[in-house]
Amino acid sequence: MQRTLFFFTELYPYGKGESFIENEIGYLCKEFSKVVIVPSQPVSHADTMREIPPNASVYTVDDVSKTELLLLLPNNVLTIIKAFTKEFFSTREGFFRKIRNIKRYVSNILRAINLNSHLDQDFNDADACYYSYWMNNGALALSIRKIKNADIEFIVRVHGYDLYNERSESGIVIFQQLNCYQAKYVLPVSDHGRKYLANIKPAFSSKFITSHLGVPDRGINFNRSPTSEFVIVSCSFMHPIKRIHLIVEALMQVKLNIKWIHLGGGPEMPRIKELCRYLPKNISAELPGNLTNSEIIEFYQHNPVDLFIHLSETEGIPVAIMEAVSFGIPVLATDVGGVGELVNEQTGILVRESITPFEVVQEITQFFSSDRISPAFRASVKKYWYNHFNAELNYQAFINEYLFDND
């Protein structure tokens, strides 16, 4: 079928984030004759563009000043009134928080109008599909597009910061009500997210459908090598909410010989390096810093890993854990967000969010004396990934059910 897909991202294929889109873009380009990737944030000339499939292109919009944004007001008054009416007055939920964040609302809608106006100027494809990877300015641009043309349909995925009000620095996800109203489908990447949305937006619950992400089959991680130390790996951006310090504080008390490797860099790196100075001699630590997704996958393909650990205080559903289980690596993780949809008795150990370092020590010690280090258990981890987070199965179903149905 010769169709064009407009695919809205945060910054991808620029910058270092959104690496998980690399798992999906190939499937989109296979099914659509043309994929136009539209970053919703201004792209810096310093940003390097990652490789994309040959039938994909990128459409970027330059950043504009506040004065230029304000010049958009006169010709878009009616659209803004309609959008604000849907957002502010179709529900009482969060009304005063919205009022307190009125400047954010005005800024976001003007930027989304600017983004949408460029699409109007440069594209004319009546048979296009529209898909926003996040419920952010990309989704808002599509909501505005639908206000102007009721025949337009679009779908939007929703993950974490763009879903949970408590994770937003403003205390509310800007224009969530409008986007839920305008979208044909809203697809949380976890069942936890679907239930959360259905609870706060019950009027749109029929639109909310869980759509798990997935990762490809890149092989199996080696069984542990016959050495005197166990290998524990964690992988995340070094942000305080990931609580990497909790891993180090636990390792300070572990009596086993362990090598701990953290894949990823970030602002917490100096703090973690300082904490590592106090690790006992039976613990070695490696902090290679920022790695590309390809480098992380190559690491799993060539280095035995006994346990993957993830002690974040909040999550959507972590692709880092998906990648670990796709290699058959057992996981120890906190029960936050949609993590429980990945980590269970078949894949590892799910612990409470408020776990203490001492309790982490107990879990690690018990793990290494259990049958969870056996090849049979690792095979069950791989099997669970195949049935639930297999990229080929999940993305093909997603395209068939929500994009090709987007007529």
Encode 92-151 in three state secondary structure: CCCHHHHHHCHHHHHHHHHHHHHHHHHHHHHCCCCCCEEEECCCCHHHHHHHHHHHHCCC
Q: Is pLDDT above 60 for 407?
A: no
pLDDT, mean of residues 119-144: 88
**Beta strands 307-310; 331-334: pairing state:** parallel
Distance CA 82, CA 149 (A): 13
pLDDT at site 405: 67
The C-alpha atoms of residue 139 and residue 153 are separated, in whole angstroms, by 11
Is 388 a residue whose pLDDT tops 90?
yes
Of 266, 273, 319, nearest to 296 by C-alpha is 319
Over range 275-279, report the average pLDDT.
97
> To the nearest 10°, the Cα dihedral for 84, 86, 92, 96?
-20
Element holding 5 (H helix, E strand): strand 4-9
Residue 213 neighbours by CB under 8 Å, 6+ apart: 20, 23, 24, 189, 317, 319, 322, 389, 391, 394
pLDDT value at position 293?
Answer: 87
Residue 273 predicted with pLDDT over 50: yes
Minimal CA–CA distance to 299: which of 286, 282, 312, 310? Answer: 286
Check residue 224 and give its pLDDT. 67
Q: What is the DSSP letter of 404?
A: T
Q: Out of 72-76, 128-132, 352-356, which region has the weakest mean confidence (pLDDT)?
A: 72-76
Q: What is the mean pLDDT of residues 122-127?
A: 74
Residue 7 scores a pLDDT above 90: yes
Strands 4-9, 34-39: pairing kind: parallel
Q: pLDDT by residue (tens digit) across 26-65?
A: 999 999 999 999 999 888 776 789 999 999 999 988 888 8
Per-residue confidence (pLDDT) for residue 292, from 0 to 100: 86
Residue-level pLDDT at 35: 96
Do strands 129-132 and 154-158 pair parallel, antiparallel, or not at all (unpaired)?
parallel
pLDDT value of position 279? 97
For residue 199 the two structure tokens come to 């609870």
pLDDT at 187 over 60: yes
216-220, Cβ contacts within 8 angstroms, sequence gap of 24 or more: 216/23, 216/326, 216/391, 216/392, 217/326, 217/386, 217/390, 217/391, 217/392, 218/297, 218/300, 218/301, 218/326, 218/327, 219/300, 219/301, 219/327, 220/327, 220/328, 220/378, 220/382
- Please give the full DSSP string across 189-241, using - where no structure is assigned: SSHHHHHHHHHH-GGGGGGB------B-----PPPPPSSSSEEEEEES---GG
Give percent above pLDDT 90 in the chain.
Answer: 76
Mean pLDDT value across residues 190-207: 95
What digits encode the pLDDT tens for the residues 390-401? Answer: 999 999 999 999
Residue 81 has pLDDT above 90, yes or no: yes
- Sorting pLDDT into bands at 50, 70 and 90, what band is 366? very high
pLDDT at 303: 93
Q: Does 171 score more than 90 pLDDT?
A: no
Considering only residues 316 and 354, tell me which one the structure prediction assigns the higher pLDDT. 354
DSSP string, 230-289: EEEEEES---GGG-HHHHHHHHTT--S-EEEEEE---TTHHHHHHHHTT--TTEEEEEEE
- pLDDT greater than 70 at residue 225: no
Residue 166 binned pLDDT confidence (cut-offs 50, 70, 90): confident
Query: What one-character-per-residue DSSP string does 62-86 give?
Result: ----HHHHHTTSGGGHHHHHHHHHH
Q: Which two tokens stand for residue 299?
A: 């690491």
Rounded Cα gap, residues 342 and 348, in angstroms: 9
Structural domains in the chain, CATH included, are: 4-214+391-403 (3.40.50.2000), 230-388 (3.40.50.2000)
Strands 56-58 and 129-132: unpaired
Query: What is the overall mean pLDDT for the chain?
Result: 92
- What is the percent of the chain with per-residue pLDDT over 70, rounded to a whole number? 97
Lowest-pLDDT range of 62-71, 80-89, 109-118, 285-294: 62-71
Contact (Cβ atoms closer than 8 angstroms) between residue 236 and residue 242: yes
End-to-end CA distance of the chain, in Å?
A: 13
Does residue 139 surpass a pLDDT of 80? yes
45 Cβ partners below 8 Å, 6+ apart?
A: none
